[in-house]
Amino acid sequence: MQAASRQMHLGVFVLGSGNHSAGWRHEGAFTSHMELPVMQEIARISERGKFDLLFISDSMAMDPTDHPSFLCRFEPTTLITALAACTTRVGLGATVSTSFSEPFNVARIFASIDHLSAGRAAWNVVTSSNAKAALNFNLDEHIEHELRYARANEFVDVVRGLWDCWDDGAIVADKITGRYIDADKVRPLNHRGRFFKVRGPLNMARCPQGRPVIIQAGGSPSGLELAARTADVVFSVVQELAPAKIAYADLKGRMAKYGRSPDEIAVLPGVMPIVGDSDAEAREKLAKLQSWITPTNAKTLVASRIGYDVSDYPLDGPVPPPPTALNSRTFPAVLYEMAKRENMTLRDLYNLTAAARGHWVLCGTPHRIADTLEQWFVEGAADGFNILPAHFPGGFADFVDRVVPELQRRGLFRHEYESATLRDHFGLARVPPMMTAEAV
C-alpha cells in the first residue's frame, strides 16, 4: 500500500493496569496501578515509542462491579503533573468534566500543567455520561444531555477566554525600573453568560502553547458540533472502515461553518491491538484474556457502555434497542447497530465491551496490524490512533517495540521527536491571544 505523505499521530489510553477488564491477570501485568513508579514506566514506554500523547481518563462514580481499572484511580490532572517531571516530549492529557467543575479552576489547572510541562498539556472535555456521578455533586439526578452540552459550550469558551486574558510578554520583571508587569497586556474577561459569571483575568501568564490542546470524544450531534468548533484532537469510537470513513468526513465537514480547516483536528479512533508472532497466536492471546472474564457482572458492564439498563433481558437473547433519551449517545448507536447487524446477543456484546469497552480490537502480527492501520490512515478514516493496550506494561511494549518500527519503516510515523510541544507534535500552530471579552 502506498504510504501517505502525512504522518500518523499516536496516543496511548492509560487505564489502570490495562484496558481489557481481565488484563491485570496476564502474566507480568501490573496489578496495582495506584503507584507512581507504575505510571512512570508507562510514560517511559510512551516516549520510547515517540508517541504524541499519553492520556488519562476519569470517572466521578465508583461501582464495585465495574471494570477493575475503574474501581480506584488517580485524579488525572494530579497524575499528569507528576508525569511531567519524568518525561520531556510526550504530550500529557487528562479528563475533567464540564458538568462538575468551574471554568476558572479548569483554566488555571491546565495552564499550570502547560507551564510545568513546557507546553505539553491537553484537556479532554467531557460532560460525564454516568448518571451516578451527579449524586456526588449535590444533585439528585444528572443534568439532561442537551443542557450538559449547552453548559459545555459556554464552559470551553470561558476557559479559552481566560487563557487569552494574558498577552505574550506581559511579565516585564525589570529590576532597574521596578516594573514587573505590563498592565496593558493583561485584561479581565468580564464574562456573563447563561451558566457562568467570570471576571478574570487568570492569575497566570500565558501558556507556552498559547492554549493547551483540547480533546473531545462526544459522538452525539451536540458532541460533534462542540468538537468541530473547539477541539484539536477527537477520540472516535468506530469498529469498521466504511462507517469510520463516513464519520471522519462528517466531522471534518462540520468545521467550515466555524471558520476552521479540516487539518485543524486530528481524529484518533480507539483501537486495542493484540500482537502475536502469527495471527493465530494473537487470537489465542485474546482468547486467554476472554477466558478470565466471568459473566457475573456482564449486564452491569454492558449497561455502563451502552448507556441504558438491560438487567431485565436474558444474556443469550438479542440486544434490546436503546431508548429515545440517553445519557450518552456515542456508544449506544455504534454498539447497537453492530449488534443488530451481526445478530449479537447480550453475552456477545458483553464479551466485546469486556475486551475493549466497545472500541475496536485488532489481532494479528505486527505486519498485519500495520497494514490495517495504514489502510485506515491512507483511506481517510483516521489521522492516527488512540492505542488501548490490553494490559500494562507488556501489551503496550508489544505495540511500541513491534508495530511502531513497522509503521516507521513505511514512512508513516516519526523516528524521533522533531518538536517540543504537543501542538507541535500535531502540526498545530501556537495560539496567539485572539479571544477578547467581547468575543466570548
* pTM reported for the whole predicted model: 0.87
CB 297 within 8 A of CB 65: yes
Q: How far is CA 173 from CA 28, 108, 112, 184, in A?
A: 52, 22, 20, 15
The helix (H) or strand (E) run that includes residue 233 is: strand 233-236
pLDDT in tens, the chain (440 residues): 444 478 999 999 999 889 888 888 999 989 888 899 999 999 999 999 999 999 999 886 677 767 777 778 899 999 999 999 999 999 999 999 999 899 999 999 999 999 999 999 999 999 987 777 777 778 777 788 899 999 999 999 999 999 999 999 999 999 999 999 999 999 999 999 999 999 999 999 999 999 999 999 978 889 999 999 999 999 998 888 998 999 999 999 999 999 999 999 999 999 999 999 999 999 899 889 888 876 555 556 666 666 677 777 887 888 888 776 554 455 566 677 777 877 878 777 776 666 666 678 899 999 999 999 999 999 999 999 999 999 999 999 999 999 999 999 999 999 999 999 999 999 999 988 764 444 44
CB 28 within 8 A of CB 40: no
CB neighbour list of residue 64: distance below 8 Å, 6 or more residues apart:
71
CB 215 within 8 A of CB 235: yes
Q: By C-alpha distance, which of 286, 315, 281 is closest to 298?
A: 315
CB 319 within 8 A of CB 349: yes
The helix (H) or strand (E) run that includes residue 76 is: helix 76-84
Query: What letter would DSSP give residue 100?
Result: S
Radius of gyration of the chain (CA): 22
Q: How far is CA 390 from CA 31, 283, 338, 358, 359, in A?
A: 13, 13, 22, 13, 12
Please, what are the domains in the chain?
9-425 (3.20.20.30)
CB neighbour list of residue 409: distance below 8 Å, 6 or more residues apart:
none
Q: By C-alpha distance, which of 87, 93, 88, 72 is closest to 41?
A: 87
How many residues are listed for the chain in this entry? 440
Cell of 191: 464574562
Alpha-carbon span 400 to 370, nearest angstrom: 12
For 38, the 3-state DSSP assignment is helix
